[in-house]
Amino acid sequence: MKIILAGCLVAVLTYFPLFQGLTHYVNPALESYAAKTPISVAASSCNFHILVGPWSKFTDCDKAKDFLTKQGLSFKSTIRPQASR
């Protein structure tokens, strides 16, 4: 049990620095692009999908986030207030 908890602690402490290092050394152009060109997705209709299947309904926001993720681009999500009628 102690070994498993120690492994989890090591993972928690190294996860983000490890992937930042991978980006820095493997693809510095992507790191430079992300720093110069921040991307944000502002929408009011985004859903959070844990399990995806034929029953899943994808909004335009979900499709945009999926596209950006598949391109390897980092982005920030913001909530856009809905327009009043």
For the chain, 85 residues long, the average pLDDT of each consecutive 10-residue run is 94 90 89 89 84 88 90 86 62
Euclidean distance between CA atoms 2 and 26, whole angstroms = 34
pLDDT given at position 72? 83
Nearest in space to 45 (alpha carbons), one of 85, 84, 77: 77
pLDDT given at position 85? 55
What tokens does 20 get? 């930042």
CA 38 vs. chain centroid, Å, equals 13
pLDDT given at position 4? 95
pLDDT given at position 83? 60
Euclidean distance between CA atoms 82 and 72, whole angstroms = 29
Token pair 């391109």: residue? 71
pLDDT given at position 5? 95
Token pair 């596209």: residue? 67
